[in-house]
Amino acid sequence: MPMQAPSIGERFPEMEVVTTHGKMKLPDHFRGRWFILFSHPADFTPVCTTEFVAFAKRYEEFKKLNTELIGLSVDSVFSHIKWMEWIKEKLGVEIPFPIIADPRGEVASRLGMLHAQSSTHTVRAVFIVDPDGIIRAVLYYPQEVGRNLDEILRLLKALQVATKHGVALPANWPNNELVKDRAIVPPASTVDEAKERLKKYECYDWWFCHRELPKEDVEEAKKYVKQ
């Protein structure tokens, strides 16, 4: 039976994995960097191929955000390598990041990635992990719908901005309908602080205040939002 998936806020489980780049110990292999571990149902399948091409084409964007990528499926290293060769030969795209081989499904089971109706296929899961090895976001997609890579980049950037500035970010940030590209100020914890909020920030009320963010953070995030 699949194990319960680790939750947001928990440390990514320690494990040794076999990848197309050799053995790695997670999460320590990426210590000091963010990393995104994403699973796909199977090699040599059309939707997964489109996703890997999309990840590869945005790899430098992830690198600019101090983030590494690592894929996973229940296929073997041999299958991964042959599939990578096919993508390079037929589509002209080289896959620069490692892919975990998990033919017995042990890693996928530990991370809660196995499909409920098939012990031989992983769902399209995404784990975003911070430089301290803490899981900051978890996304799941069905087998029949591929992921939106620009949204994953936007979410990653938003998490980094929220962490850096100690704020929360609104829906559709940086293009929110109410506060636009501004950040939500954390809630007040005392009566006096609540009163000061109205003087210090722009507010709809003391519990809903917002402030500007550095222009460079906003402009970078806007690159990942299609107008």
Contact between 127 and 138 (Cβ < 8 Å): yes
Active-site residue among 17, 48, 101, 179? 48
DSSP 113: -
Note if 203 is an active site residue. Answer: no
Alpha helices in the chain (DSSP H): 46-57, 59-64, 77-86, 106-110, 149-165, 191-200, 215-222
- Tokens found for residue 179: 């506060």
Phi and psi angles of residue 8, each rounded to the nearest 5 degrees, phi first: -55, 135
Q: Which amino acid is at 116?
A: A
Fill in the amino acid letter for 54.
Answer: A
Tell how far CA 43 is from the center of its chain.
21
For the chain, list the strands marked E by DSSP.
15-19, 22-26, 34-39, 67-73, 99-101, 114-115, 118-122, 124-129, 135-141, 183-184, 202-205, 208-211
**Which residues have a catalytic role annotated?**
48
